[in-house]
Chains A and B, each alone.
Chain A
Amino acid sequence: MASDGHPRIAFGAGAPAALSSRSAPSADGGGALGGRACQPEPDDAVVDLATARQVSGIDEVLDAMEQELVGLAPVKTKIREIAALLLVDAERARFGLTAGRPSLHMSFTGDPGTGKTTVALRMADLLKRLGYLERGHLVAVGRDELVGQYVGHTAPKTKEVLKRAMGGVLFIDEAYYLYRADNERDYGQESIEILLQVMENQRDDLVVILAGYKDRMDTFFQANPGMSSRIAHHIHFPGYTLDELEQIGLLMVGQAGYRLSPAAGTTFRDYLGRRSGQPRFANARSVRNAVERARLRHASRLVQQSGAPVSKDDLMRFEPGDFLASRVFHSGSGDAPAT
């Protein structure tokens, strides 16, 4: 193991005595780590919340969220509320009014593809700007990364992940898999206990976000009341409406450098309507897959129409045929997976 080659010991009183006076700059020039509020403001002072907002730069994150994420109105409202609370808390601390650090652990529930991971990423950024996290990175894990395969394997594994996430956000996807009600000896329970302990004791260093389907998360919280009570913010991600799905699809098409011909626009909306009624519909993720498949068909259509020169517009434009080839339009039954 690593060990220093020649550790030194200074013997005798003489040598260190000359140096032990606190003269070294690193001793007190510790730098950025010091707390805020060393001297409370007088009672009659006023603080400017607008300036504090500007300095922290949270508006950039919130505005970016507003513009880049379609729909999700209740989620955005909730996050604005949390941001406001944290901002006000920071200002209160300047007057010496400390209510303790608020609990920031969250649970995100919602169907697949409703933007839980994306929002968690922005949340990490937001908390960093507000000074509640040192780094603001996101560590996304599932059951496999937390739970071990044999006795004594789980604790070190979970701790390893927790240490990796410190200073940032630990995002546990499909958290309910940690708890298996049917198997008492499942190691998931051990992992939950360590998580709870760290969520309680290391609140300053780590924010845990649990994510998953709503109904299964509810069962999970019922079986683990300790977990439920330590999570302050339960945020539900509603599914997207057809209009929102279309908007998301157009955004994706635009970002990939394509556009829809007017006829293709109608077909696309029709496609989304049919697809969202089918099983295994994963909201924005399904839209992304649909766009990817349309790109594929668009490319092969251009390659097959040999001879004719291809303009820039041709390279960018989706036609209805690119969507109509999908199985969604052919099979009447909703059982077959869409391609």
Chain B
Amino acid sequence: MRITQGTFSYLPDLSDDEIKAQIQRALGQGWPLSVEFTDDPHPRNTYWDMWGLPMFDLHDAAAVLYEVNECRRAYPRHYIRVNAYDAARGRQTVALSFIVNRPPDEPGFRLDRQETADRRVRYTTHSYATERPAGARYQEAR
């Protein structure tokens, strides 16, 4: 199941040129960018691992794309996203965050229903990928 998260989640995966154009726009707005990766893309997992520090004082998108490609090389089968942070007063939040890399096959999620008191039902989304230990997820099928 294809996971969609963040900005442009409704679009097909962006090409490198499109990613570059988006990064350039973010730089044009004065937003520093950072690259993050994870193998646990649960919707409530907001804390992805950082690929290096956030990048300040850049002028050209090539520098960010370089880090994205380095991260892709190290974690070809992880989810990788690019964040742009808007530090403007009154905003101070992530302004743009989109996925730039995903594993070739995504096992998806299962909906668990738990019966509790008074026939109420609690729902849990369970990621099939997390059935394996961290680091061993999204590997080549053996």
Contacts and interface: CB of A to CB of B under 8 A. Distances in A.
B21 A33 contact: yes
A9 B60 contact: no
A156 B51 CA distance: 12
B17 to A, nearest CB: 5
Nearest to A23: B11
B101 interface: no
Interface string A27-57: 1001101100000000000000000000000
Given A10-B9, A22-B12, A27-B12, A164 B59 contact: yes
A166 B62 contact: yes
B62 A9 contact: no
B75 interface: no
A26 interface: yes
A166 B6 contact: no
A31 B67 CA distance: 23
Given A3-B83, A137-B59, A205-B62, A8 B9 contact: yes
B66 A166 contact: yes
What bracket does the count of chain A residues touching chain B fall in?
35 or more
Interface in A1-34: 1-5, 7-11, 16, 19-20, 22, 24, 26-27, 30-31, 33-34
Contacts of B133: none
A167 interface: yes
Contacts of B62: 134, 166-167, 202, 204-206
Most buried by B among A1, A30, A137, A167: A1
Contacts of A33: 17, 20-21, 24
Given A163-B63, A166-B66, A27 B11 contact: yes
Contacts of B34: 1-2
